Structure 1
């Protein structure tokens, strides 16, 4: 396959990962086409596969593009229905035209909008409950300089809490908190961790773990902590650490 031996711009691991998750295929069984340009139709197919879980599935055609035919039909229809892309004209998508870098960037940015994510199961949450506090090291993070949010867990009660490794990142839009989805294929160990009584812990949540591009706004990391069996408190702690991202 041409990508594996001769292309520095399209490394083996990236293509192999995309192929494994069914996002891309090669031009042939042995040629990926690393140095070839892609068309708007091909971009539509790639993006519809990569963001399959956030795109709408309309039951009828929502556009009037005469060139949205064959293998491009479903992908283009789903992108248009979700508001991700529009045609060159009312009747022409430009399926066989090369996609411009700017056009592709606009589509990816729209697909990364947290508004496409499901609303949170929780409204506003406190940062402290049951003797356990979770707070962000920095209340304000700079988009260009901060690639992660660092959290501190402060436990003042006399019993332990246990919790899983999956912290939930959410962004506030209007009156709702919207969940930011993790990248496809990202996995976590299934073991439970513990916050011991009277101790503190530090946790780092890297933004590159998430599918959505980070943009300025108000965010929070939330988690549920369970009192250990020997504890006297039976209630779970539902807490969140809020922070902002600015340019």
Structure 2
């Protein structure tokens, strides 16, 4: 086969492959980050099971949410930048799929007994533009008791868009 024929075969095969990917993209894990329905699952996270640590939504504007985390427990708690968003449909909560290849800054905030911590984020970075609805933001925190493995708990705050 001469070079011209090989080149034509390669170009035709590439074009066909491109069109097949466009046609079947939904079957190869394609998801639209602005659609809250694909690849979601019913929430199984146990929330607010540690008395004394609470989170309240203070402000939701555009794609930003500001919360206040309060610790009235006897121990200090530690949390980071990571969070999860869930949407309510009927009486059930569903985890929203996050955009691929997202990482959080590995930072730890210590919240001592009797203190508050204002925290905010722009959820569009991780979840895209969300339609109107009832949502909740979930943050994990840990407690280190002396000579024990740290225990992980989750708190949530509901908000509407």
TM (normalized to structure 1)? 0.49
Deviations 1:99-135 (A, max 9, x none): xxxxxxxx95xx5211113215426744x73210101
Out of 186, 199, 202, the residue aligned to residue 118 of structure 2 is: 202
CA shift, 1:235, in A, is 5.8
Q: Give the Cα separation in 1 of the matches to 2:73 and 2:50.
A: 10
| Equivalence for 1:146 | 62
Q: Give the Cα separation in 2 of the matches to 1:70 and 1:187.
A: 31
Q: Give the Cα separation in 2 of the matches to 1:209 and 1:231.
A: 38
Is 1:133 the equivalent of 2:54?
Answer: yes
* Structure 1 residues 209 and 198: alpha-carbon distance in aligned structure 2, compared to 1, 3 A threshold: same
Unaligned runs of 5+ in 1: 1-67, 85-106
Q: Give the Cα separation in 2 of the matches to 1:168 and 1:235.
A: 18
Q: Give the Cα separation in 2 of the matches to 1:123 and 1:163.
A: 17
| Equivalence for 1:179 | 95
Secondary structure (helix, strand or coil) at the match of 1:122 reads: coil
Please give the residue correspondences for 1:47-196 in structure 2 after superposition, counting only pairs within 5 Å: 69-79=16-26, 112-122=34-44, 125-126=47-48, 129-138=50-59, 141=60, 145-196=61-112
| Equivalence for 2:9 | none
Q: How many residues align?
A: 145
Q: Give the Cα separation in 2 of the matches to 1:231 and 1:163.
A: 19
* Structure 1 residues 77 and 114: alpha-carbon distance in aligned structure 2, compared to 1, 3 A threshold: same
Q: Give the Cα separation in 1 of the matches to 2:129 and 2:81.
A: 22
Unaligned runs of 5+ in 2: 1-14
What root-mean-square deviation, in Å, do the aligned CA atoms of Structure 1 and Structure 2 show?
A: 3.2
Is 1:241 the equivalent of 2:157?
Answer: yes
* Structure 1 residues 229 and 124: alpha-carbon distance in aligned structure 2, compared to 1, 3 A threshold: closer
CA shift, 1:160, in A, is 0.5
